[in-house]
Amino acid sequence: MKAILAFEDGKIFKGSSFGASGETYGEIVFNTSMTGYQEILTDPSYKGQIVTMTYPLIGNYGINEEDVESCKPFVEGFVVKEYSKIASNWRSQKSLGDYLKENQIVGIEGVDTRAITLHIRQTGALKAVISTVDLDQKSLVKKAKDSCGLLGRDLVKEVVCEKAYEWNKTGKYKVVAIDCGIKFNMLRILADNNCRVIVVPATASAKDILGLKPDGLLLSNGPGDPAALPYVVKTVKELLGKIPMFGICLGHQMLGQALGGKTYKLKFGHHGVNQPVKDLKTGKVSISVQNHGFCVDIKSLDKKDIEITHMNLNDNTLEGMRHKKLPVFSVQFHPEASPGPHDANYLFKEFIKMMEAARAKKKRHK
């Protein structure tokens, strides 16, 4: 079946359909990962976006039920150079194409993904449409122009859990995770580090969270424009200084705003498993997984209270910060995604130490 990918600026790519038939809209981004397409598809942070994979062959190891990062795929569409018709892996349970069909995700293959990537890098993030039902190019370009972008959109409400739930029942430390589109591996790693994790929706109030008497708070990743989430920022601001906090990706941006900073949209964002990040304290460079189109503006942060801890070596954007007085820190990249494969695991250990110190301080004051 024929398929067309059309950009809002008039750029057209013709290919073949794989996955579900139909029509889908979103901001188009490129991801530089060679593997991990299943984790990418099920990352709620991709809500509102069409993902182009730069690696040319996708689908060769199929799909399994263990490697998902959420309850279902959240990408709006999937673009690849070549879809592998053969899925060969001992853990594979179904093909990528069948998985996309089951979840109503439109895919297109047989397009020049290098040309797509170069176009996005030159022009910046653009709105796009993939269609297997409307093959009129002018019509599709107009549809792309008229579709919603990401600026000002609260997409968190479309991906979060409806009510609080327990991820696991036991653990030395009780951690509340604010779900803005949380990836399961964050919860898995916390559980592996002797934490009992309770997940609450992004709409949970500071009072709701404090009522659970947590040792620490995890601010999760999520989709869309961080400036469109004042209710989450308000909650984080009210909790500052009351419990240790660890923010990841969107959680980092929420914390940045709660500390008085501002966010802005990157030209084409950071999406992939090979982003170099420098730890300014140790000088060590880690290879990180990233998925974000917005960033905290370093200039907007008060350096009297906030220490910059990590920087992106590709474009010198902010990748990590820590409050100088409060038990609060965050990173823009994804330490739970096992890049390197263990370069960033130490950040979860730091969170545990922070909770230990806070617990010891409480005992001293009793």
Catalytic residue (one of 249, 252, 292, 310): 249
Catalytic residue (one of 252, 292, 310, 334): 334
158 catalytic per annotation:
no
* C-alpha–C-alpha distance, residues 331 and 194, integer Å: 22
249 catalytic per annotation:
yes
195 catalytic per annotation:
no
Could you give the residue numbers annotated as active site? Answer: 249, 334, 336
